[in-house]
Amino acid sequence: MALPSVNPTKTPSWKKLEHHFAEAQYIKMKDLFAKDEDRANKFTIKWDDFYVDVSKNRITEETFKYLLELADDVKLKEAIERQFSGEIINQTEGRAVLHTALRAPESSVVSVDGKNVMPEVHKVKQKIEGFTNEVVNGERKGYTGKPFTHIVNIGIGGSDLGPAMVVDALQFYKNHLTTYFVSNVDGDHVNEVIKKLDPETTLFVIVSKTFTTQETISNANTIKSWFLESASEADIAKHFVAVSTNLDAVSSFGIDSSNIFPMWDWVGGRFSLWSAVGLSISLAVGYDNYASLLNGANKMDEHFKNEDFDKNIPVVLGLISVWYNNFFKAESEAVIPYSQYLNQFATYLQQGIMESNGKSVDRNGNPIDYQTGTLIWGEPGTNSQHAFFQLIHQGTKLIPADFIGFVKSLHGNQDHHDKLTSNFLAQTEALLNGKTEAEVIAEGTKEVIIPFKIFEGNKPTNTIFINKLTPESLGKLIAMYEHKIFVQGVIWNIFSYDQFGVELGKQLASKILKEFSGEAQNEHDSSTSNLLNYYRQNS
């Protein structure tokens, strides 16, 4: 069964929200806190090792009530059930959406087309575990008998961003293997990585769901050629493994069938790090840590599936984001992790959020006349405070922001961690309260400077405070955003699991490539024509 299809703007709750917004847009959060001592408690969800405070938002209890009604009006509960039960909710591609099955316990039953997929999922997990242990323990060796020291993940988009972000985020838990990621078709990327490698001790993991992606296949071929400068064709079996649904294409590349880790078309690329796409994660941090990551995600799945919406973290975050996106017309959201380990987190989320919800046609195929996907951006604090925070504090744009922090430091340097956390807390407080004219004057500011030092405040933030960055809590955090994406896709009545917009550029690039080699001549607009000629004449 498909997802329910409801135009959100035609629901009673949307009308209530519109009506309510006429006044609510002038809400001053400071006044709400002054009026209600219990506000922070009322708008905080404590779940497991997560403390999620959404009180610093321009919402009242009335706003929240209407937003929850909106979730009911668009039949969110029904949609969640349909996703988890393996129905074909990715209708445009005719597929189920079951990344959640990859982290479900072995004993669960998840059916696709009447077949329980869990035994197959478990079989692949066992293969990942066995392979990881052999590589990490040094039992699996390269063509000259030396154990592996380096892993190179070759992939792009969902076959790169998730594993790259997680390996970076879990550096603290890393083993002795050095892990690199090659993604860009820019040859400088692969060549810079090759410079650091020894073919005798490097294991290559080619990750491509389709095994047709230009970037990945080009990089894999370049690496294979470099490898064959010192090794033989027969040695490929020892050094190259692949993760893909396209088993034939993998075999023609020369990879041994025992070195293929299958995946399934019911796992979308940007949600695939839980499948064998996460092999490089397992290799980098060991299978047990990888299993904890999956376990954390599963805990968030259970929370999302079972918790009432008013205490359901992904639902609440999704609803608040819709409030800003569709009523305040905020165009972007910032994600600011106060952890250097989450350096790549916003980049990773950009694909998840923007590839999923960057849509302008509804689930009935009609153009949409309301806003959908938000722009996502961010960098870790405190660095970002010294980069773009000025605009959030005093610019003209409304930028709701998620602040993600950890109560405990991994290296246990309390002095640094106190400083980091004081900044984490101070920023959301500053964004809430701003600085009034009276406060600026009281600081003894020269009169002509006063207007420049006033901070309006009233800038919304969510605080996601987690006990400690562990594989499990990271799994929960990623799954939290995955579910937020789903919630918003349901509300906006769009298909979140296709990405046809990415295809046009790929098609045109392959046509232009043929022109470079003189194989084809195409019609272009005058701008593209001039640029193309300029390149051909000067390259």
Minimum CB separation of residue 8 from ligand F6P in Å reads: 26
Minimum CB separation of residue 348 from ligand F6P in Å reads: 11
Q: With DSSP H G I counted as helix, E B as strand and the rest as coil, what are the percentages for the chain, rounded to 5? A: 55, 10, 35
Task: Please report whether residue 156 would count as binding ligand F6P according to CB under 6 A.
Answer: yes
CB-nearer residue toward ligand F6P: 132 or 159: 159
CB-nearer residue toward ligand F6P: 213 or 289: 213
Count residues contacting ligand F6P (CB under 6 A)?
A: 14
CB-nearer residue toward ligand F6P: 337 or 352: 352
Instruction: Return the bridge partners of 402, or none.
Output: 335, 462
355 is catalytic: yes
Spatial distance between the Cα atoms of 81 and 68, rounded to a whole number of angstroms:
17
* Of residues 204-263, those binding ligand F6P (CB under 6 A): 208-210, 213, 216
Task: Please report whether residue 384 would count as binding ligand F6P according to CB under 6 A.
Answer: no
468, 506, 511, 514: the active-site residue: 506
**H or E segment to which residue 333 belongs:** strand 332-337
Task: Please report whether residue 159 would count as binding ligand F6P according to CB under 6 A.
Answer: yes
Q: What tokens appear for 137 in the block?
A: 């323990």
CB-nearer residue toward ligand F6P: 83 or 208: 208
Task: Please report whether residue 63 would count as binding ligand F6P according to CB under 6 A.
Answer: no
Burial of 257 (0-12, 13-18, 19+ CB in 10 A): exposed
CB-nearer residue toward ligand F6P: 111 or 360: 360
176, 329, 386, 446: the active-site residue: 386
User: Which runs of E-coded beta strand occur in 338-466?
Assistant: 375-377, 401-406, 461-466
Please report, as a single letter, which amino acid is at residue 389: F
CB-nearer residue toward ligand F6P: 234 or 502: 502
CB-nearer residue toward ligand F6P: 271 or 338: 271
Stretch of 66-74, 203-211, 286-294, 297-305 lying at the interface with ligand F6P (CB under 6 A): 203-211
Phi/psi zone of residue 48: left (φ > 0), alpha (ψ -120 to 50 degrees), beta?
left
CB-nearer residue toward ligand F6P: 7 or 210: 210
Calculate the alpha carbon distances from 11 to 14, 35, 312, 489 in Å: 5, 31, 22, 16
- Strands of 260-262's sheet, edge to edge? 178-182, 150-154, 202-207, 240-244, 260-262
Minimum CB separation of residue 260 from ligand F6P in Å reads: 14
Minimum CB separation of residue 414 from ligand F6P in Å reads: 40
Minimum CB separation of residue 426 from ligand F6P in Å reads: 37
506 is catalytic: yes
Q: What tokens appear for 87 in the block?
A: 């129905």
Report the relative pairing of strands 150-154 and 202-207 from DSSP bridges.
parallel
**Residue with nearest beta carbon to ligand F6P:** 269
User: Is the previous residue joined to 382 through a cis bond, with omega within 30 degrees of 0?
Assistant: yes
Q: What tokens appear for 94 in the block?
A: 């005719």
Burial of 216 (0-12, 13-18, 19+ CB in 10 A): buried
- DSSP 8-state code for residue 231: S
CB-nearer residue toward ligand F6P: 448 or 504: 504
Stretch of 154-162, 220-228, 300-308, 488-496 lying at the interface with ligand F6P (CB under 6 A): 154-162
Task: Please report whether residue 1 would count as binding ligand F6P according to CB under 6 A.
Answer: no
Q: What tokens appear for 244 in the block?
A: 């893909």
Among residues 86, 142, 157, 278, the one that binds ligand F6P under rule CB under 6 A: 157
* Of residues 461-520, those binding ligand F6P (CB under 6 A): 499, 502
Minimum CB separation of residue 276 from ligand F6P in Å reads: 12
Q: Which residue, chain included where needed, has tokens 């106060």?
A: 338
Minimum CB separation of residue 293 from ligand F6P in Å reads: 19
**H or E segment to which residue 135 belongs:** helix 118-136
Spatial distance between the Cα atoms of 398 and 460, rounded to a whole number of angstroms:
8
CB atoms within 10 A of CB 88: 17
Site string for ligand F6P, 349-368 (x = CB under 6 A): ------x-------------
Stretch of 66-74, 157-165, 301-309, 408-416 lying at the interface with ligand F6P (CB under 6 A): 157-165
Minimum CB separation of residue 277 from ligand F6P in Å reads: 8
Q: DSSP 3-state assignment of 461?
A: strand
Q: What tokens appear for 227 in the block?
A: 């490898």
Site string for ligand F6P, 270-309 (x = CB under 6 A): x---------------------------------------
Minimum CB separation of residue 503 from ligand F6P in Å reads: 8
Contact 345, 169 (CB under 8 A): yes
Which phi and psi angles does 260 have, rounded to 5°? -105, 130
Q: Where are the alpha helices (DSSP H) in 345-413?
A: 345-350, 356-357, 389-394
Among residues 86, 142, 158, 489, the one that binds ligand F6P under rule CB under 6 A: 158
CB atoms within 10 A of CB 265: 14
Task: Please report whether residue 269 would count as binding ligand F6P according to CB under 6 A.
Answer: yes
| Interface ranges with ligand F6P (CB under 6 A) | 156-159, 208-210, 213, 216, 269-270, 355, 499, 502
Q: Which residues are catalytic?
A: 355, 386, 506
